[in-house]
Chain A
């Protein structure tokens, strides 16, 4: 029986062998692997890209103080982007399941319609949830739009829910009983994240501070997006910090999720705040596409 980390190694190796750059997680809080610039910005434009990475994904409202065997504040996604999509993409994906020890001739695998949409990112795609013996183990999406723009190439996004897959492989009823490394349980690695951050997210986070931070990060992102429009010199465009602006967008998104978990956003306000984050996310994406030719040009002497 493979440990959690061994399964992750095998999946990374599998996709590395198929031409993926294996990246480390993005170092800002995100709610899903899609939000990492490795996906959000790289799927834009005409440049091919293949990448795989594990992204710890924080969803404050899903926290259960470490009490619930299947729900987590922070879970681990293995995200794979294949741009453009190879014709045998589903066979490649099924191969990855076989590579981690799932004999698909003995298990029931179904692709059930499930289209993905993120209003905050102006992104949506068409695809399936992959069901293995009745359990959703992967979200498979053909990206159609991102940042409100049609995508030149429609990349495939494969998002593995690692805790679910490994608890399936190890036959565990609770994710906390998963063996992370030989002799080390998931609970030993992660339990206090779940407990203490549930306490913080639900009970003690300073709402006023969160609102203030959201406002400031939003203003910073907007300042940078607006500033880009004024730049004319190609060399200046090339070095303009849109990646800095995107980091601010991610901060806003996480602050929104924290406020939401804290019960500080009424249903009425909700739509408005999502709209604010969407505006800066779309602003960065559009600027990023505009910047593409300047990024590809040789450095100006």
Chain B
């Protein structure tokens, strides 16, 4: 049994691609071990931007010998063909055997296959395995048509026990030598063994385990200050460094007069710093940066980062001051020169439409907010920090003495940005967010800009998903169908988004969603309440049998073609029919919520079962037959207001 070790040394791989690459490396290598019966298990993968590393254990030295059965011509074949088959396999006819298969008797040859040495086999397989790692965007570096990888491969360590698994990939020959930290490690190659790999690298300023780097960063930032948790930034820094260390820097407290959103944006996204909170929860005039060297005893790195941040904050202040020279109200007219979309028109036109819609949905404040909502697109701050659109508008309205309700609505009007994000916190904000998103959807659909497959350049799916989330979780209850303003394609699009919401957020089953939406979706909260009822009542014993019965009834009605009009005549009922009619009357009571009603409908089961046991709907007497169809039709009509049971997938049918 031998351990195996692989390190692919590359130039800096983008941090966010590394975990997925390591996962694939582990899976693919395990598949090679299993597929070639080499024994062994991948025990670990890990890495940094400059190395993807894999450990495996328990590999056998050599594959077991095996026998391969080569099938030849049938027993009765021309002797020449039999000779040819033997010759092709390098043996004489005497060495062949006749074996009986399901199709008859055939000549076969049992070839003895000697197991191959594991190292030799891996040397053949590894280049392909490494090259087949998937990356979002790979590159050539040796030239057109050469190997492709995410970044150039510069060295490879491949060891089986103490021996090198020798192969060549992209002009690099595998060996036992690795490299340390770019500037703190040895400038010469470092020979390693499997057991000594991590300590050798630690001596050369590389902490191989990402968990250890992450823990070191977390420990150090916590020691330096109260940082706002930022899991994404932590991941980035874990994989962008080989020997991380945190440092605390400061900036002049006078910058704190700038909006904290701007300061935080500069620190997090532009500079990859953690923002620091003061004791009262406000922003402290400090930041924490993570370096790729162990320490900064002379303060060079702190001073450098402080200088860069100062320049960035100065820029922000410059933009802020320039922006305050004109109010947002004054800027609205400028939106005539900002194109929303070439085929649709300017942001000023969009604003006008949004105002009308917001007025309808949320009244005066919502309309006032809609008027100002897009004006921040003309500010220097938003031109510089695009992700802060809306937020900047809200802050400027507040700073320029606008109504707090309006400022807050504008601040939050891009929300929710994802399924996980919260919706705007006020009804005015919800009305504005709806008006913005609905207008975008209507306008784009009107000029046939409809998302297809993965193509959705205007993020219309996200907009529609946001509408659904706001309607589900917010205070407003407009009809979603009316919001679509008669656009059939938009209605269809929203039904898909509703299904998505029910599946992903509520975890509902496909058939339950279909059953509920078949009845109606214009009132999305009502659809949700009906879905919750179906989900709750479905596990009860009578539900699925009743659903199956309803499906049967629906089939009967469909086959009957044109249905007789009017209510059934009770005087024609036999005992079973009267039973159904009486039970139906009981079940039709609308007391309680949807779940209670559904339970009552499920309670129809004995009466319906009895009906189908006793009665043949297609009675030879057309009067009787029509009366039965009337009864069944009434049943379906009466009990399909919560869900269309025929959509439920049942075992009994």
Contacts and interface: CB of A to CB of B under 8 A. Distances in A.
B554 interface: no
Given A110-B240, A115-B137, A154 B142 contact: yes
Contact of B308 (A69, A110, A128, A134): A134
A115 B182 CA distance: 22
Given A70-B311, A268-B339, A106 B298 contact: yes
A104 B171 CA distance: 29
B315 interface: yes
Contact of B309 (A107, A134, A171): A134
Contacts of A210: none
Contacts of B80: none
Given A84-B143, A126-B151, A150-B144, A113 B15 contact: yes
A231 interface: no
Nearest to A152: B144
A267 to B, nearest CB: 4
A204 interface: no
B300 A107 contact: yes
B285 interface: no
A87 interface: yes
Interface in A79-134: 84-85, 87, 90-91, 94, 104-113, 115, 126, 128, 132-134
A150 B142 CA distance: 12
A188 interface: no
A105 to B, nearest CB: 6
Contacts of A159: none
A69 B312 CA distance: 10
Interface string A126-168: 1010001111000000101000001111100000000000001
Which secondary structure dominates where chain A touches chain B? loop
A5 interface: no
Given A68-B315, A113-B15, A154-B141, A173 B183 contact: no
A282 B307 CA distance: 41
Contacts of B143: 84, 151-154
A266 interface: yes
Contacts of B271: 134
Given A109-B183, A267-B339, A135 B304 contact: yes
Nearest to A103: B300
Contacts of A69: 311, 314
A95 to B, nearest CB: 10
Nearest to B154: A87
A151 B338 contact: no
A124 to B, nearest CB: 10
A107 B301 contact: yes
B11 A111 contact: yes
B292 A106 contact: no
A107 B139 contact: no
Contacts of B315: 68, 70-71
A174 to B, nearest CB: 9
A113 to B, nearest CB: 4
Contacts of B140: 142, 144, 150-151, 154
Interface in B271-318: 271, 273, 289, 291-293, 296, 298, 300-301, 303-305, 307-311, 314-315, 318
Interface string B234-259: 00000011000000000000000000
Contacts of B154: 87
B182 A109 contact: yes
Interface of B: 11-12, 14-15, 49, 137, 139-144, 151-152, 154, 171, 182-184, 240-241, 271, 273, 289, 291-293, 296, 298, 300-301, 303-305, 307-311, 314-315, 318, 337-339, 342
Given A107-B300, A108-B305, 16 more contacts: A68-B318, A85-B141, A90-B182, A94-B183, A105-B184, A106-B296, A109-B182, A109-B183, A113-B14, A126-B139, A134-B273, A135-B308, A154-B144, A267-B342, A268-B339, A268-B342
